[in-house]
Structures are given as structure tokens and as C-alpha cells.
Structure 1
């Protein structure tokens, strides 16, 4: 649709607002409405924070000889997972029972993406921290999906349900999330890269996916987990770079073209790896 001129990259912004504020919250409500809050779900929340911290530290070690801007680019690009707009719609039609696991992981993931990662990265590169815990909390509360996450989590901890009539309506909205998310990714997708940045981008992507595949192998073969939880974690390990990381890279001083290419290449690589995981683990 973009190539024939019917839509433009700018239309992705409108789709993004619909997804973030309407269809994704509907998925969260429908998926969490009847779950029992178990230790496994809280384990996923902790993993959402832990994965980000681990990959940021790995990026810091790998990029220690580079400039601060390139170090930040490396750490932001290696950390964070695109769950709401990619991971969730990707598994929605194949593993619907895994959706609560991905959503709980995304709560911890969101804490890092909306400020936690910046706090840690600024500390690792030796710069003054511009993000406070208060700013992170305010940023999270401004996020519609995160606010819905928290409301549903509290409701389920209190064993409070959502009326079936409401769920029936929201299910129609939730069903649109997968298509709209993938369509938005298509509108944003670009493969243009300055030649001078080719080596840097290659190293960043190789580092991200080597760490991701390493974590995936650990959870697949070494950690005793129930099958659905294991599959969810392995899929998450190879999920693509999130939009928040793209924004943070540009704020750190990297040019948009390089960061945009990194994000698009990440989507392609993750699409292949996640498909492979689904074929091998089903």
C-alpha cells in the first residue's frame, strides 16, 4: 500500500495511536480478564526487567571502546522487546493461551523502556542521570497499555471479574490488533543505510541476536519450565527491537537513518527466528 502511494509512512502514526490506545488495551483486558494470578506470571514480570538489564550490561561491555553516542546506540538497540506491536500479534493466532505470559513480561519490559533503561545506560556511560524514578512513574501512568495492565492486575489479584457483555464487545476490538500491528510495521519498514554505518549496525544486530539466542537456548534446554511458559520465553528472547529503543537512540544522538535501518532489519531477523521457534516447539 505504501509503495503504490495509497498510504504513506506518516499514516503509521495514526495506526500507532489506534493500536496503543484502543486495540492493545482491549487485548490486555480480554486476555487477563479470567486468569488466576500465579507465581509464573510474576516470574515473567521480573524477567521483563531482568532481560533488559542483562542486555544493557552486555551492550556496555561490547561497546566500551566506542564513543558515548555509539555506546548508547548499542545498549538501546540490544535491549528492549517489541511485545505489544509484534510479539503479541505474532502469537495471537498460534498460542492464544500464551498471551497472558507475554503481557506480564511486557509490564516489566515497559518499566525499563519508559525510563529504567535510560537511568542504567546514563550511569554506565558516566553521564548525569536526567531521568528520575518520579519521571519514570509519571511516564508509565501516561501509557494507556501500562495503566490497563496495572488495573487488570489489581482486579485479578482481588479476584474481580469483568462483565461478559463488556468482554464480548472488547473481543471484537482485540481481534483487530494483530492485523493493524503488522500493517503498521509494514508502513514504517525501510531498508536504507549509509555505507559508513554498515559495520556498526551489523555488530549491533549480531550482538543482540547472539545474546537473544543464548538466552533462548538456556530457557529451552536448561531451565525446567512448563511447556507454554518455556515457549513464551524463547519467543520473547528473539523478539525485535521496540519503538521506544528507536526513539531513545535518536535522542542519544544517532542519526534516524541508521536507527531506522536497525529497527527494520531487526523485524526481518525476528520474523525468521520466531517462525523457526514456532515450527520447532509446536
Structure 2
């Protein structure tokens, strides 16, 4: 328990170090964009490659891809069901804030710090999650609010394969399905690069962190966060009830309280919600998720 708390405090310290340096004008939000590019093109793919390198692919792992899609659909359905009598814009806001999983920028580096053996499971889940974030979620949300947007498979595929982490997931999955091993020298080179992923990801979150919000939007933000984490806690109850392997149950419980996905932040702004409101929700969700995921590890992480 002590080790988990120390690690969690260390992640908090990295986030607030980034935020503090931004407040001192030593660094800026633009530097966070630079770090994001480094993470998505270098350290995150390295993490995926290193942690997939010796993975044995079983049927249960492949089912996590389907689960990544299915849980997002469930989140959207619950959000819409609770908000269907509200104005269309509020429905969209709640569905975007209440669904999807921020894995590459938060959950994966968090698990990398605490539970490295869980990374392959999360990576498989993210293959399905990414399909929804790349276009599936927007199509479903637009259908539910009456915009009737058609599903453009080509657009979704282009968005997916422009993502270096997603391509890394897919290539490593195919290699492991074929039992193809990577050279040990390559993995040795990639190991320290992958090791930098957690620090850079948490520091980037600190640079992006926004803690200012107009009073007029506070009620809406509270509602959206209660909805998101209320659904998350319901999912945890479901996962604890199901007869799942302990590691799979733990990983799914961690994912249930993951923060708001970056793609959904972008899509919410494109739908017409104020960037300040969406940015605040996203920032606060990182802090809430860090606390809740630490609690999940404390109470469910015994092996």
C-alpha cells in the first residue's frame, strides 16, 4: 500500500510541476503540444512495442477489442438515456464527456508506473476504443441527437492509420499472432525510450491543466463529471460481479474511471460547446481519475 501511495504522489508531483512551471511562465501550453507530439510519435509507440514483444495472444485478449467498442456504446447509451429530454447541445456535451477512455495520454502511462503486466491488456482494449474515438462515437452521437450523420468508413480508417500508436498496436498484434519475435537489440534500445513515457505524459498533463471556470458553467461541469464517474462506478460493480481473471478485472476497473478522451474534447468543441468548459472538464477529470485509479489499485490490486 505504501508503494502505491508513494507512486501516486509522485505522479501528482509531476503533474503539478508542469502546471507550476506554466504558471511561472517558464513553460507554456504550447510546450505541452510539443511534448504531445514526442509522446505520440516516439515514447508511446516504444512502450507498446516493448510490452507486446513477448505477449502470447489468446482469444480472451482479442475479446478486449470488442469490449473497447461495446463499453463506449454503453456509456453513450446511458448518457443519452439520462439526458434525452435536455436540449440537443447539452445531450452532445454529456455524451462526449461521459464516454470513451483516455488511454494513450493517461491510463497507459499510469499503469506503466504501477502495473506493467497490465499494459498488453489495456493496449488490446484501446484497439476497440480507438475505433470509437476516431469516428464511431461522433456517428452515434449525431444519430441520437438527430443530425443523421452517415458512417464514413474511409474517414475513420484514415484517422486510425495516421495514428502512430494505433499502427504500432496493429503491427505488434499481427506479429504476435504470427509468433514473430523482434530482435533483442531493438528492444534494448527501445526500453529507456519507453521508460520516459510516464514522466513526459504526466508533465504534459500539467502543462495542459486549466483550473479556471466561469461560475455560470459550474453546474454543467459538475453534472458531466458526476455522470462520467457515476457510470464508471457502475461498471466497476459489474466487473467485480463477473467471473473474470483477477488481472483482467483490475485492468477493467482502472479503465472504468479513466479520464475524458482527447478526441471527445475536440469533438465536443466542434459540436459547439465552449472550449473553456470542455477544457476544464478534461483537466479536472485527470485529477479525479488519478485519485480513483489509485484507490482501485489500493483496494483491488492484491495478487
Give the Å deviation of 1:128: 2.9
Name the CA distance, whole Å, in 1 between partners of 2:69 and 2:110: 22
2:161 equivalent to 1:163: no
Q: Deviations over 1:68-120 (max 9, x none)?
A: 22211110110111111111111112211111011111111100001010111
In structure 2, what is the equivalent of residue 197 of structure 1? 217
Q: Deviations over 1:215-272 (max 9, x none)?
A: 011112x111111111100000001001111101100000011001111111111111
2:159 equivalent to 1:139: yes
SS in 1 for 2:66: helix
In structure 2, what is the equivalent of residue 208 of structure 1? 228
Q: TM-score, normalised by structure 1?
A: 0.97
Which residue, 35, 47, 51 being the options, matches 2:67? 47
Give the Å deviation of 1:131: 4.8
Name the CA distance, whole Å, in 2 between partners of 1:134 and 1:68: 27
In structure 2, what is the equivalent of residue 278 of structure 1? 297
2:212 equivalent to 1:174: no
SS in 1 for 2:165: helix
In structure 2, what is the equivalent of residue 224 of structure 1? 243
In structure 2, what is the equivalent of residue 2 of structure 1? 22
In structure 1, what is the equivalent of residue 170 of structure 2? 150
In structure 2, what is the equivalent of residue 88 of structure 1? 108
Q: Deviations over 1:11-55 (max 9, x none)?
A: 110000000111000011111111011122112111111111000
In structure 1, what is the equivalent of residue 37 of structure 2? 17
Q: Deviations over 1:154-184 (max 9, x none)?
A: 1111111111000111111100000000000
Give the Å deviation of 1:67: 2.0
Contact 1:122 1:128 in 2 (8 A): yes
Name the CA distance, whole Å, in 2 between partners of 1:275 and 1:224: 23
In structure 1, what is the equivalent of residue 9 of structure 2? none
Deviation beyond 3 Å, 4+ runs, structure 1: none
In structure 1, what is the equivalent of residue 268 of structure 2? 249
Name the CA distance, whole Å, in 2 between partners of 1:38 and 1:113: 25
Q: Size of the alignment, in residue pairs?
A: 281
In structure 2, what is the equivalent of residue 35 of structure 1? 55
In structure 2, what is the equivalent of residue 122 of structure 1? 142
Q: Which moved more, 1:109-118 or 1:188-197?
A: 188-197
Contact 1:118 1:131 in 2 (8 A): no
Q: TM-score, normalised by structure 2?
A: 0.91
Give the Å deviation of 1:130: 5.5
Name the CA distance, whole Å, in 2 between partners of 1:72 and 1:163: 47
Q: Unaligned 5+ residue runs, structure 2?
A: 1-20
Q: Unaligned 5+ residue runs, structure 1?
A: none
